Structure 1
Amino acid sequence: MTRASGEGQRGRLSRRDFMGTAAAAMAAVTFVPRHVLGGPGNTPPSEKLNIAGVGIGGMGQNNVRACESENIVALCDVDWAYSADVFKRYPKARAWKDYRKMLDEQTDIDAVIVATPDHTHAVVAMAAMQRGKHVYVQKPLTRSVHEARMLTEAARKYKVATQMGNQGHSSEEIRMLCEWIWDGAIGNVHEVHCWTNRPVWPQGIDRPKDTPPVPDTLDWDLWVGPSPMRPYHPAYLPFNWRAWIDFGAGALGDMGCHVMDAAFWALKLKYPVSVEASHSYEVHQMWTRFENKETYPSAEIVHYQFPAREGMVPVKLHWYDGGLLPERPADLEPGRRLPESGSIFVGDKGKILCGTYSENARIIPEAKMRAYTRPAKSIPRIEDGPGGHEQDWVRACKGGPAASANFGYSGPFTETVVMGNLAVLNPGKKLEWDGENMKVTNDEEANAYVRPAFRDGWSL
């Protein structure tokens, strides 16, 4: 732990001064929390965190920039050409390619931002937490159910501050929507429809056949990480990896942690009891079906069933992507369009329509919205706007309240999101799910995706 500048340079107290100070301290009745004093694993609010970024070329550079109020001491990426501008922005930060060497050799790191592709989220975050580092991990928290459970349990074990990078969870809008639903604005919610316009990258495709050379600046072995090795190809990186089953979580993993967030929070969801899916498929010439086993499909629908919980009725949640949409609500006035990504909450007394991050939430039709008396705010607010989600985590690292999307919340949430991909990979089947034991109970073959095998040399 690195101390604030100047600490350790104060003058020594005389014995008289010390005794007087000690007596005053004994007479005081105010308890000073350990996190205020500092010490191992605790950074006082007055000190700056020493933060490392792993996977900084894409969204990671925005996460790092949102934490510039702290000390950016280390930057790690497997492709230094792709990340060159970020390294230039922080010339004092040590540069690394292998996060394992960084964590072993650079001992001044307090907290780590993880924004690598989905398939390496878990191994990087786990390595950091095992060393007592706080972690911020981009969404989806992990690619698989098992990885999400392991990170949730590790955060609890190592007592570190955590946050998943679904920034809408820190917004005013999602809190307002939760308060409306808990106020009974539309009665008992028994159904939710969530959708996105993603993917905006190629899906439903086969593995490329050509094998171009690996760029000199890229460590391909580290990029592949725990997934099965394959030849390098620009079809995978720097962006389109989301499509590939070995590397990403598809449109559902990418946007589900945004669009489904309000439903998961407001309806107090945890594990579904069943999930089923259907999807589009590609064809070759002569209308021969292409059995794709490399990428997620170009469009899909997933149906989750949740049981009654905490006084709330059972609920069905439906997911649509690839341009598919739910049926237009009859309550929606002519001329109003569904957003490109959003949700519809269906209650026994009405409906709420909102956008991707719960923005523009309205009871429909508008006449019902105007007649509704909004409840008083009951959920603590977080400083909103750019960087607010990251700063929520920074405060937690310094001993403040747990971050809004800490792993205690975002771990089970991610399990539910990526559980949908298990159904997508087994279309036409209704998979019965034992969430506590992470097991499909009626189809043993479907359990393979719950805990995908790691390549030799990699583990949690």
Structure 2
Amino acid sequence: MDHSITRRAFLACATTTAVVTAFRVNAAEVVPRKLSPNEKLRVAGIGAGGKGLDDIMSCARDRKRVEVVALADPDWKRCEEAFYRLKNAKQYKDYRKMLEEMGDQIDACTVSTPDHSHAPAAYMAMKMGKHVYVQKPLTHTIAEARLLRQVAAETGVITMMGNQGHCGDGVRDLCEMIWAGKIGKVTEAHIWTNRPVWPQGIADPLPEEPVPETMDWDLWIGPAPFRPYNKKYAPFNWRGWWDFGCGAIGDMACHIMDPANWALGLSRAESFTVELVTQEGMTAQTYPLKSIIKFTFPARQTDGGPMDPVTVYWYDGGLQPKRPEGIPDDEKLGDGDNGSLFIGSDGIATAGEYGGDARLLPAVRMKDYTAPPQQLERIPRGNPYL
């Protein structure tokens, strides 16, 4: 799944090619459907409240090329604004019913649901030949991610994961800084977040409460083991529960670890090891209150050339790396609550939550700093909605 393009590029790929791979599924084969350059891409939103509203509206703003034809969400209270702003879109609670009834009227789907529902929704849409834009984290499990990658290859649909910070200049500045050898060979990277900002460390399921009239709780539960409704599960707080979310690391590592992944080519490694250094408050129901996780990567090839072995540390729950020697106490690491720190043989670099404000430490090193030649294309204003 390629998340290095913008939504505009995603839409362009799906609408401006001579033959668009918007497939229909029959019993024997996937048959491509041709769209003329003048036809609009017909988009359906799976998840239309919260972040789902942002995603579907970013598509709807491209009125010349896009028509939002349907919205599906089991919690209609959360969807009131989407329903109001997209009055012509047909409304559903069950995305499966939407895809079955409107399959030949949909070319692409946004998937912006709780994490545990990402893979089932994306899988069904892709198997029906629909291009998909799936919010981060892509899936609830590694196995699900591998399955979606397989289905994408089999169907040829266009795919993208929502990772807005990847569009900013800062992460590109950091990559070019490291690739140009401004801090030498990177041996360590430290990434931290102030998340969770939702409840975790809870030992037992929550007591049953009345289900709101506007919600279909059974549909919201979806593939997870059934449990009675409680307002502290949904909306938002589902992130901290094993059955529904991916905790702090699943919610934020795709943003804060993205600079390290790109600059250090971590995903190019053929293998790596993971070690839990410490955790506090983990239960059978929820993720820990805080943790430190150590990743060890062997030598690998990157866009900036070969890279030596590197150790990467992840911190959440307010834990942070030790301040490196020689960095004054009044100089901020990252942006304070969140950020990344790169330790090299010839210096130190840091960046903020979404890779922004990439800089050398201590700050005095930036006085005579000359940015290396640009290797990576910039996105205007770093806007993922372009």
Report the TM-score, using the length of structure 1 for normalisation: 0.72
1:147 matched to 2:144? The reply is: yes
TM norm structure 2:
0.86
Go from structure 1 to structure 2 and tell me whether the alpha carbon gap of 1:343 and 1:378 turns closer, same or farther (over 3 Å shift): same
Query: In the alignment, which residue of structure 2 is the partner of 1:301?
Result: 292
Within 5 Å, give how 1:3-42 maps onto structure 2: 36-38=17-19, 41=22
Do structure 1's residue 337 and structure 2's residue 329 form an aligned pair? no
RMSD: 1.8
Higher radius of gyration, 1 or 2: 1
In the TM superposition, residue 209 of structure 1 has moved relative to its aligned partner by 4.6
Task: Give the AA of the match of 1:389.
Answer: P
The one-letter amino acid of 2:18's match is L
- List aligned pairs for 1:53-452, cutoff 5 A: 53-68=45-60, 69=62, 70-106=66-102, 107-270=104-267, 272-282=271-281, 292-310=283-301, 311-338=306-333, 339-385=336-382, 388-391=383-386
Distance in 2 (CA, whole Å) between partners of 1:40 and 1:313 is: 40
Contact map agreement 1:300 1:321 (CA 8 A) in 2: yes
SS at match of 2:260: helix
Contact 1:193 1:317 (C-alpha < 8 Å) held by counterparts = yes
Percent identical pairs in the alignment equals: 48
How far apart, in 1, do the equivalents of 2:152 and 2:239 lie? 26
Does the Cα contact within 8 Å between 1:185 and 1:372 map onto a contact in 2? no
Secondary structure of 2:349's counterpart equals: strand
Choose between structure 1 and 2 for higher RCO, CA contacts under 8 A separated by at least 6 residues: 1
* CA separation of 1:209 and 1:74: change in aligned 2, threshold 3 A: closer
1:351 CA displacement = 0.9
Change (3 A) 1:72 1:379: same
Using the TM superposition, give the Cα deviation of residue 35 of structure 1 relative to its aligned residue in structure 2, in angstroms.
5.2
- Is the CA contact (8 Å cut-off) linking 1:118 and 1:140 kept in structure 2? yes
Alignment deviations for residues 178-225 of structure 1 (CA, whole Å, 9 cap, x no partner): 111111111111110000001111100123452112222211111111
Determine the C-alpha separation between the residues in 2 that align with 1:390 and 1:152.
24
2:36 and 2:126 mapped to 1: Cα distance? 19
Structure 2 unmatched runs, 5+: 1-14, 23-33
Mapped partners of 1:36, 1:115: distance in 2 = 26
Q: What one-letter code is carried by the residue in structure 2 that aligns with 1:142? A: T
CA contact (8 A) 1:279 1:297 kept: no
Following TM superposition, by how much is the alpha carbon of 1:53 offset from its aligned partner in structure 2, in angstroms?
Answer: 0.9
Q: Tell me, what secondary structure is at the counterpart of 1:217? A: coil
Q: How many residues align?
A: 348
Between structures 1 and 2, the one with greater strand share: 2
> Match for residue 31 of structure 2?
none
Work out whether residues 21 and 156 of structure 2, in 8 Å CA contact, stay in contact via their aligned partners in 1. no
- 8 Å contact from structure 2 (residues 191, 315) kept in 1: yes
